[in-house]
Amino acid sequence: MRMIYLDIDSLRPDHMSCYGYHRQTTPNLDRIAAEGMRFDSCYTVSSPCVPSRASFMSGRFGVNHGALTHWGPGCDFQYPEGDGHSERIPFFTRYLRKAGMKTVTFSTFGDRHHAWWYFAGWSEVHTHTLKEGNENADEVNAAVIPWLKAHGKEDNYFLHIQYWDPHSFYTYPKRYMEQWQDSPVAVFPDESQIAAQQPNTFPRSASFLHWGDNYPETMPGAIRSRADFKHLIDGYDGAVSYMDSFVGELLDTLRELGIEDEVCIVVSADHAESMGEQGIYVEHPCATEAVHHIPLIIKAPGMAKAGGTYDGFLYNVDAIATITDMAGLPVPSGWDGKSYLQALKGEDMSGRDYLVMEHALYTCQRSVRDHKWFFLRTYHQGLYDFEEVILYDMEQDPHQTRNVAGEHPEVVNLMEQRIAAWLQEQMNKPGYKADPMQKVIETGPYKYLTEDDWVNRLRSKGYEEAAGKLLSRRADEGMKPAYEF
């Protein structure tokens, strides 16, 4: 089996034309979807980058693999100590390689995040630049295409290719943004909603879109109006379009090699991106719908139903289990994912009844998603302004603008029970050590920005009152008891 995994950072499915987006942002990814299956309700269980890709490597939820933030307490990748490797919870890449597949990655992820466990199990590791994830798709393909031409006709390989372009900042040729100048953007957020967001002073809010004062032309300086919002969306869509053009180069190379119809292709992302939801723009700082809902497309000749869709709930670790099943291997007993090969073939298969998700980089949160409700529990709000308990009616309020927790205490209670039951299930698994979320709660979710960093930023812009409120909140939080799950 020849398999290519396209790992696209920060990609929202609702900004892909194959998912129904009104702009033709992804014509080449659309080609893959037309020949395979599109999964409409796939979610990353743990966000953002490090937790998600640790799940990719380990097949486990963040609460079990331990790397629930980007460094420091709560970012200890948990793996059995000593010589040898676990048969029960093997690295995904090592498991494929042991079965005879060449495993190859073109990614600077491990270098960017000092995630040295990421390099385990690969037959070949190509970091291709020292830009630590700031390289564009043309630089990725400059390394990938020669490899494909030399090795693409070989049998039994798993080729992982990571594209970073939809992750800010956007540094592609500006014409990819300018192609959308006459194309409208979505109705949310409207002018009144943007106006209501102006008092927000947390990172990546409408008034504080950037951490510093330098940003490219492909992004506005702030979101003060619908025009600014269009500028931001045009920039993001330009990045997606630019990345997609190099997916086209990849597909053309497969055709030139005569193997286009023989290669299995999987398309997914580590996480998505907030674009106005909860007042947050161009960031992934929470366990929300906008951040956790990711694309999943699988083209598997002879296996996948061409042009099919599947709307059942599944996790990103289920995608890893499905790939393993496609390769003819049993899913390891210690993994948290389950195979959806049956659904991929177009056969009846129920999705998960609900999903529990988690985030611990910028905030400490767990959430529950089912067909009607999205529940969000915040244990530590970091620099943000989340209420402790939030409930959204996704059928009536898909943009999550109104917290209805007070109107539905029975639903809140059910969701709390689901999180508790999920945590208990994880604690009962062999080898469970400790909940990494608790470690982040104790030290605070302050990695790229500390409270003092943000206080100084607010003061430099004349927001003395907001700076004072943040300092006061820190003093109040220091007096609170640690949250008990």
State the pLDDT at residue 416: 98
**Which residue's entry shows tokens 């244990």?**
379
∠ CA(437), CA(296), CA(400), 5° rounding?
60
Looking at the DSSP assignment, which residues form a beta bridge with residue 315? 43
% of the chain beyond a pLDDT of 90: 94
What distance in Å separates the CA atoms of residue 337 and residue 60, rounded to the nearest whole number? 7
35-49, pLDDT tens digit by residue? Answer: 999 999 999 999 999
pLDDT of residue 81: 83
3-state SS assignment for residue 177: helix
Mean pLDDT in the chain? 96
Cα–Cα dist 290/275, whole Å: 8
For 469, how many CA atoms within 13 A lie in the half-sphere containing its CB? 12
CA-to-CA separations, 479 to 73, 336, 476, 483, in angstroms, rounded: 21, 37, 5, 12
Tens-digit pLDDT profile for residues 1-27: 999 999 999 999 999 999 999 999 999
Structure tokens at 206: 């409408």
The pLDDT score that the predictor gives to residue 343 is 96
What pairing do the DSSP bridges indicate for beta strands 364-369 and 373-380? antiparallel
309 phi, psi to nearest 5 deg: -135, 155
Tokens of 467: 């700076």
46 beta partners? 358
Contact assessment for residue 183 and residue 231, using Cβ atoms and an 8 Å cutoff = no
User: CB-based burial of residue 291 (10 Å sphere; 0-12 exposed, 13-18 middle, 19+ buried)?
Assistant: buried
Tens of pLDDT, residues 392-430: 999 999 999 999 999 999 999 999 999 999 999 999 999
- Boundaries of every domain in the chain: 2-352, 356-477
Closest CA to 230 of 241, 216, 215, 219: 219
| pLDDT tens track for 55-114 | 999 999 999 999 999 999 999 999 888 888 999 999 999 999 999 999 999 999 999 999
pLDDT of residue 459: 97
Tell me if 268 sits within 8 A of 161, measured CB to CB. no
pLDDT band of residue 305 (cuts 50, 70, 90) is: confident
Residue 67 β-bridge partners:
75
Q: Is the pLDDT of residue 481 over 90?
A: no
For residue 128, give the amino acid letter.
H
Q: How many residues does the chain have?
A: 485
3-state secondary structure of 365: strand
Identify the weakest region by mean pLDDT among 14-18, 159-163, 305-309, 372-376. 305-309
165-179: average pLDDT: 97
pLDDT of amino acid 484 = 53
Q: What is the pLDDT averaged over residues 441-453?
A: 95
* CA gap 273, 285 in Å, rounded: 9
The residue-averaged pLDDT of 440-461 equals: 96
Count of CB atoms situated within 10 Å of the CB of 442: 13
The domain made up of 356-477 has a fold known as Arylsulfatase, C-terminal domain (3.30.1120)
The CA–CA distances, whole Å, from 82 to 79, 85, 429 equal 9, 8, 20
Question: How far is CA 186 from each of CA 64, 173, 181, rounded to the nearest angstrom?
Answer: 38, 24, 14
Q: What is the pLDDT of residue 46?
A: 98
Residues 48/384/374/442 CA torsion (nearest 10 deg): 70
**What digits encode the pLDDT tens for the residues 118-145?**
999 999 999 999 999 999 999 999 999 9
Q: Which CATH superfamily is domain 2-352 in?
A: Alkaline Phosphatase, subunit A (3.40.720.10)
**What average pLDDT score do residues 371-399 get?**
98
